[in-house]
Structure 1
């Protein structure tokens, strides 16, 4: 038997792909995952892919998590994006005491946590913190039972609280969804079904046990190497895998079309056109290369992390470079497939236009920014070789 934690998550993901594909149009139209899709994700334990085993999760290694998202993304990018977001959020359980983590992930009906971008501050008070703020970009919040927010901590007198190295103290505060006011703001060109909404709280008290240190290895309760991997890097690997799934599905749709379509005014079918044949071959190579690079980087990082329990700046740089390039390369594959399909691609009844929009929504996220190349280049140039 395969002893890799969570090894069957990929098969479970494949098993529900037909359901997600059938529901994809409704997800797009209603701008939220359908109840049937959410139930299938929950029942198959996919939201718990990165939750510690001590809490009933899979604690899966990164490559299993990535393959799971890749399979789901082939059917619907919004579903994969929400699943990736909420799965990574669950890693915060490793920084909470067991009873608190159990309350969040095992007692609520769904046990799903979502959060948005880093912003604002929480004021220290007796027994915890008080916060009034609004955050954006909470993908997956429409399925969540709990919300989180990354905040800077200030003392009761308003002065910033500092870490030992002088950096601002950051915490991730957690609170029930019912404690927040949700704002339906997600009217976007792509990833429409993610429900990436805004949320706010007013003078909310957060008990100290619901305010975890953010990506601080010394605060971890769980011993597994997975929780030495920063959530930012895990998001990068996961969302790059989503982009691979979208690219794979779009190119496959173009290949299927080329096998049957006879282009207007053309003397031969697309499948017999040498230009089309060459384009498909080169695009296939580009996609396979991007996938191989991403997974090779993840494997190398995971091997080192498992052996040393240390996630180094070099690991962070390698993951960021591979994820950024993979997302951008996936977009090129989608663009090629879209243009290859010609007028067929513009109709909503065909499997191109939504994936085109979803892919270009992915490229606008932080994980695909061109500035990441500058950061990596700066690090390379500073090295003594």
Structure 2
């Protein structure tokens, strides 16, 4: 692909673009919450800033540089509105899956810079082999951003003569690229945390998908560059952790603002005079800085290795998995502590602490930062071979 045909219309670093969107994301928070999807004004600016396309090659408007930039984007956006960060992060994965397409198919699916993408790696559909392709049907749950999406990347069990017809050993699983015209959204997303992600169910009935639009994690990568060589699983986990740190920052900043605003000369104690509040602010400040540094350093190591076309060691991958899971877990615990020490103020929706407390618990429900990944990392550290399917992908 020719880099001169780049669809990226901005010269800003992704993190700078996220900083510019930050005030808009905050001002539109109630619209996002009420509609259960990102406010149109925010979607428009995210699209114009190419933040939905960071996982693509540069020639299609992607980032293609140091992945730490994407972590900064997620953290910044999550500190404004978690649902905005979540959809940007989710688009990154949907675009990353495009690396397995041939170049012609990649151009067809990702050619429009205004497009938004959604995905589900849950194998909740069935694809039957037919001439020149597949017939796909299924119902997928938790498809974030489905109302905004122009294209979907959905995982299915492929059924053909002699192949397993249920999930389990030997099952043939593929990702299918399907346009929104084949998708029906079922309104199921009635939740507290991450309410603005619009993670409804979707249904597809007998949609034909041509063979070129079906790929697996073992499919050849069409474009060989340092970014496309990065592992999908742990980089995705790092993004989830970065969002968690952003939510922590929002809660911490809100608590500090309340301390500065609630000063009553001549009267005491104020909120800022409480020992529990002082300790929580100090603890969250150092936790945020240390976990961010560890997360960024572990991802930076993979980036360095990828640029040199080296094979990642299990320990290097484990470092990212462990940094991600611990950053997310400790961010959740710290947000809960801030929620507690802020007292009754935490109950009111006018404060970001209330939303942060809801969102952080929703973020940590994602399978990519569950405790079993710490066991996988630990296996690498003691000389065993991690055996989870996504550990190295």
Aligned to 2:119: 115
The answer (yes or no) to whether the contact 2:277–2:342 under 8 Å persists in 1 is: no
**What do you get for the CA RMSD once the two structures are aligned?**
2.4
TM (norm. structure 2) is 0.88
Alpha-carbon shift at residue 33 of structure 1 (Å): 0.7
Query: Secondary structure, in 3 states, of the residue corresponding to 1:318?
Result: helix
Aligned to 1:181: 184
Aligned to 1:159: 163
The answer (yes or no) to whether the contact 1:69–1:238 under 8 Å persists in 2 is: yes
Aligned to 1:372: 373
The answer (yes or no) to whether the contact 1:190–1:360 under 8 Å persists in 2 is: yes
> 1:151 and 1:228, CA in 2 relative to 1: closer, same or farther beyond 3 A?
farther
Aligned to 1:94: 99
What is the correspondence of 1:186-205 to structure 2 with a 5 Å cutoff? 186-205=189-208
Alpha-carbon shift at residue 247 of structure 1 (Å): 0.4
Alpha-carbon shift at residue 309 of structure 1 (Å): 4.4
Q: Deviations over 1:174-194 (max 9, x none)?
A: 111110121111112200000
Q: Deviations over 1:258-301 (max 9, x none)?
A: 223259xx833333445533332122112222111111111112
Aligned to 1:51: 56
> 1:72 and 1:279, CA in 2 relative to 1: closer, same or farther beyond 3 A?
closer
What is the correspondence of 1:1-12 to structure 2 with a 5 Å cutoff? 8-12=13-17
Aligned to 1:286: 287
The answer (yes or no) to whether the contact 1:328–1:363 under 8 Å persists in 2 is: yes
The answer (yes or no) to whether the contact 1:225–1:306 under 8 Å persists in 2 is: yes
The answer (yes or no) to whether the contact 2:146–2:202 under 8 Å persists in 1 is: no
| Residue correspondences, number | 371
Query: Secondary structure, in 3 states, of the residue corresponding to 1:33?
Result: coil
Structure 1 regions of 5+ residues with no counterpart?
Answer: none
Alpha-carbon shift at residue 97 of structure 1 (Å): 2.1
What is the correspondence of 1:1-385 to structure 2 with a 5 Å cutoff? 8-107=13-112, 110-119=114-123, 120-155=125-160, 157-160=161-164, 168-214=171-217, 216=218, 219-261=220-262, 267-383=268-384
Alpha-carbon shift at residue 251 of structure 1 (Å): 0.4
| Whole-Å separation in 2 of the counterparts to 1:371 and 1:94 | 27
